[in-house]
Amino acid sequence: MSGPTEHFDRSQHGHLVIVGGHEDRENSKQILSRFVQLCGGAQATIAVITAASRVPDVMWERYDTVFRDIGVREVVRVDLPDRATANDADLAARVRACDGIWMTGGDQKRLLAMIGGTLLDEAMHRALKESGACIGGTSAGASAMCGHMLADGKADLLPEKGSVSLGAGLGFVQRVVIDQHFSERHRLARLLTVVAQNPYLLGIGIDEDTALVVERGVGIEVIGAGSVTVVDGRTMISNVADIPAGGTPQLIDVRLHLLPTGSSFALPEEIHHPHQLPPDATRDTPAALTDFVRNVTKRNPLS
Amino acid sequence: MSGPTEHFDRSQHGHLVIVGGHEDRENSKQILSRFVQLCGGAQATIAVITAASRVPDVMWERYDTVFRDIGVREVVRVDLPDRATANDADLAARVRACDGIWMTGGDQKRLLAMIGGTLLDEAMHRALKESGACIGGTSAGASAMCGHMLADGKADLLPEKGSVSLGAGLGFVQRVVIDQHFSERHRLARLLTVVAQNPYLLGIGIDEDTALVVERGVGIEVIGAGSVTVVDGRTMISNVADIPAGGTPQLIDVRLHLLPTGSSFALPEEIHHPHQLPPDATRDTPAALTDFVRNVTKRNPLS
């Protein structure tokens, strides 16, 4: 490694690059370049998992092209014609050895049906947690990162009890739920539905061409064109348990945070340590955001 | 007066019916019927102010028809060809004597340019505050009710510094800003812009065919098809003062309340008193909402 990543001991950390879909692949390629940088740069070996998509060939070509444009020499196709392949020990070992793993868009339910609980799933966690690999995902690949994954949901004008369903995701981050294409598809109401019914989870909405970059144990950063919205319902007062399905819940005292591109927050104990996040960005983490930052950067153990 | 309003001493209170536009005028007419009821029912004299609209004849016919459908016998057209007419003492005296005053949609800037600071404006305040008349307004007529009126603003995907401008409104409610067509036109970002730049104001977003009914000094109720969203930025941490115009502000710890139809809250000291709000609805006002209810129900004096 060279350049800005020189001082960085990747094995101590591991990053997540959680992208709200439609990241730029033609012009600045800001988000994908950052992903590559966090994988270790041109020398990195990056695996591309296309299993969320029904057009995996298109997805493979798309990301093989752009990662090579950025200068990556080793881009590895993880072809998953079926779930059995995701339990292939050789394939899992190859992914375990990668510096970066990218999950394309498609349908997060399809992705989880293919890889959830497989050797490949375990290999991804080991790469992140034991070797400090970088895990990136866009759209469906972003939603799939949580333990509690937004599986289906209407994006109506108002929150609606029973209109959203969760599934078991890959669990790189816990106690959050991630939605993507957030502002563009007006998904606040659906994220509020999730949080109303599951106040245990913090809601994260990521805009298109926008990424929440997580440095495990250290802090977070928002990059790209849009913003990240955080919805915290822990102190909320709601009647959601008492209303019928289809009703709009009353929600009082939901905490909302809007983190535009350029926002970055370190854990309070990490603020004065050298690390990857830009030193010129805001470093003080307001108390209202500390739990969120702690949560999303938590070094969850291998399960 | 008869029926459900029998026990009600209208002179003690005065109501506001603040409607988010497109209230039903064909079927249940729930909101307009409630407005008429709060004016005193069929015996009431209701003035219709069409000055917000560039098609006042259409507006007059629309509301004359629907109020008569509901059973009102005296509907008074307030025709304002120019601002001088709004300073006509006879016209002001006639409006002062009305039981209800309705403001149609159109452009709130036009409405204020025509009546702001005139004898008609004063007559409306006297009718409300001295005689307990009911003031209703829809769309532009709703926005015009605040002291700080949302005059212009882009409804973009994200808040944008400098994209919203306020003007001086009629001031029936103070320390709030009201937006309408709220969920339908995805106006949360623009309301957040207002609150980010003006945290002194609580933001109120009212959906179409939805009304915030205010009983001065007593409490509030939400009726109709949608919800009322309240945005409270008083404890917010924001960089809005430091970013350039056009930038997206970082907003941390905005309090958001979603009040669907059927929500009602009384001031704590009014909870056990008899009043107009439905006795079967939620009466406890959570602490997080108390300031909002106190604010919006405040019996502001004649200025």
C-alpha span between A137 and A143 (Å, rounded) = 8
CA dist A269 to A211, A265, A288, A292, A293, Å? 24, 11, 16, 15, 12
- Tokens 């997206």 map to which residue? B248
C-alpha span between B175 and B229 (Å, rounded) = 16
The ipTM value here is 0.86
For the ranges A10-19, A97-106, A215-224, the lowest mean pLDDT is seen at A10-19
- Kindly indicate the confidence band of residue A272, based on its pLDDT and cuts at 50, 70 and 90: low
Task: Give B158-188 pLDDT, tens digit per residue.
Answer: 999 999 999 999 999 999 999 999 999 999 9
For β-strands B237-238 and B202-206, DSSP reports them as: unpaired
C-alpha span between B242 and B230 (Å, rounded) = 25
pLDDT, average across residues A193-215: 97
Residues 6+ apart with CB under 8 A from B83: B113, B114, B115, B118
Q: Which residues of A touch B192 (CB under 8 A)?
A: 258
Q: Over chain B, what is the mean pLDDT?
A: 92
pLDDT at A276: 53
A269 carries an active-site annotation: no
Q: Which residues of B touch A257 (CB under 8 A)?
A: 251-254
Say whether pLDDT at B25 is over 50.
Answer: yes
Say whether pLDDT at A78 is over 60.
Answer: yes
Q: How many beta-carbon pairs under 8 angstroms link A with B?
A: 101
Task: Give B229-252 pLDDT, tens digit per residue.
Answer: 999 999 999 999 999 999 999 999
- Kindly indicate the confidence band of residue B5, based on its pLDDT and cuts at 50, 70 and 90: very low
For the ranges A21-30, A272-281, B125-134, B219-228, the lowest mean pLDDT is seen at A272-281
Q: Which residues of B touch A249 (CB under 8 A)?
A: 258, 260
Q: Which of A261, A294, A283 is nearest to A19 (CA)?
A: A261
- Kindly indicate the confidence band of residue B8, based on its pLDDT and cuts at 50, 70 and 90: very low
Question: Which of the residues of B are catalytic?
Answer: 139, 181, 208
- Kindly indicate the confidence band of residue B301, based on its pLDDT and cuts at 50, 70 and 90: confident
pLDDT at B280: 47
What chain A holds in terms of domains, given with CATH numbers, is 10-297 (3.40.50.880)
pLDDT at B284: 73
Q: Which tokens go with B295?
A: 């604010």
pLDDT, average across residues A161-172: 96
pLDDT at B155: 81
Contact B261 A251 (CB under 8 A): no
Other CB atoms within 10 A of residue B60 CB: 19
Strand partners, B251: A258, B238
Any idea what DSSP says for residue B147? S
pLDDT, average across residues B205-210: 98
Task: Give A54-66 pLDDT, tens digit per residue.
Answer: 999 999 999 999 9
Chain B nearest C-alpha distance from A29 (Å): 21
pLDDT, average across residues B30-36: 98
**Which residue spans within chain B are E strands per DSSP?**
15-19, 45-49, 74-78, 100-103, 134-138, 148-153, 164-168, 176-179, 202-206, 210-215, 219-224, 227-232, 237-238, 251-260, 264-266
Task: Give B59-101 pLDDT, tens digit per residue.
Answer: 999 999 999 999 999 999 999 999 999 999 999 999 999 999 9
Contact A260 B248 (CB under 8 A): yes
Say whether pLDDT at B44 is over 70.
Answer: yes
- Kindly indicate the confidence band of residue A6, based on its pLDDT and cuts at 50, 70 and 90: very low
Helix (H/G/I), strand (E/B), else coil: A145: coil
For the ranges A10-19, A183-192, A198-207, B138-147, the lowest mean pLDDT is seen at A10-19
Contact B186 A186 (CB under 8 A): yes
C-alpha span between A222 and B97 (Å, rounded) = 58
Q: Which tokens go with B202?
A: 């609580």
Chain B nearest C-alpha distance from A182 (Å): 9
Substitution target from A157, A186, A283, A290 for chain B, most B beta carbons within 10 A = A157
pLDDT at A281: 46
Report percent pLDDT > 70 for chain A: 91
Residue B98 phi/psi, 5° resolution?
A: -75, 155
Report percent pLDDT > 90 for chain A: 86
